[in-house]
Amino acid sequence: MYSLWTRLHAIFAFTLSSLTAMTFLFFLSTAFHQYTTDVKLGTGKVVVKSVPDYTVSRDELDLGVITFDIDANLTDLFNWNVKELFVYLAAEYQTKDNQINQVVLWDKIIQRGQSGIVSAKNVHSKYYFWDDGRGLRQTPVKLSLNWNVIPNAGLLPNFAGQGEHTFIFPAEYAKGARA
């Protein structure tokens, strides 16, 4: 009545359904975990430069140059379902042309088994802090440390640390190449 192929298909379908159910239950075991922790941020040197834009309009653009401090302990964010954390420092500010401007200044990947302590003092930004116009002078900027949780199974959530830092760029442009 039942052939070998029919029985193999039934066993395969049952195994696949069982694995899917188990994966979903494993995902639920950490789905409602809050991946937040306290973060301390600060800034050191804060200057703004006027640099030529050679790509679009040949106008001048603002370039923010900052050094920053980060102190965060992310070890409590790891559990069996966290493969790695993609940690990044974001700067958010507002100009008259754009209501929301967000720039990533620094990032780091922390894998399971590595130290989850992020302690960096007087670090230069890894990426340029460009403004698409001339809107950085006397602009308040909010720094926040964020992370994406890369799980073994489930969603890819994005979280922000509890603690942010706000600074204001100076009113005058910096002079010289090393400002």
Evaluate if residue 65 carries a pLDDT over 60: yes
* Residue 139 falls inside a structural domain: yes
Q: Residue 179: inside a domain, yes or no?
A: no
Task: Pick the closest to residue 111 from 78, 89, 88 (CA basis).
Answer: 78
Distance CA 105, CA 145 (A): 10
- Indicate if 70 and 22 belong to the same structural domain: no
Note whether 70 and 147 are within 8 A (CB): no
- Residue 138 in contact with residue 14, Cβ under 8 Å? no
pLDDT for 31 equals 83
Q: Are residues 20 and 55 in the same domain?
A: no
Q: State whether 27 and 68 are in the same domain.
A: no
The CATH code of the domain that includes 144 is 2.60.40
Q: How sure is the predictor about 77, in pLDDT bands with cuts at 50, 70 and 90?
A: very high
| Helices (runs of H) and strands (runs of E) counted in the chain | 1, 8
Q: Note whether 68 and 91 are same-domain residues.
A: yes
Count of other CB atoms within 10 angstroms of residue 156: 9
Please state the domain count of the chain. Answer: 2
> Domain limits at 28?
1-32
Domain contains 178 = no
SS3 call for 27: helix
Q: Are residues 113 and 47 in the same domain?
A: yes
- Judge if 67 and 129 occupy the same domain: yes
Instruction: Count the helix, strand and coil residues of the chain and give each as a percent rounded to the nearest 5.
Output: 15, 50, 35
On whether both 87 and 5 belong to a single domain, the answer is no
Same domain, 137 and 55: yes
The reply to whether 21 and 97 lie within a common domain is no
DSSP 8-state secondary structure symbol assigned to residue 127? S
Average pLDDT value for the chain: 90
Rounded CA-CA distance 130/135 in Å is 10
Under a CB-based contact definition with an 8 Å cutoff, are residues 100 and 131 in contact? no
The answer to whether residues 135 and 94 belong to one domain is yes
Question: Does one domain contain both 50 and 117?
Answer: yes
Please tell me what DSSP assigns to residue 95: -
What pTM, to 2 d.p., does this model score?
Answer: 0.85
**Residue % of the chain over a pLDDT of 70:** 96
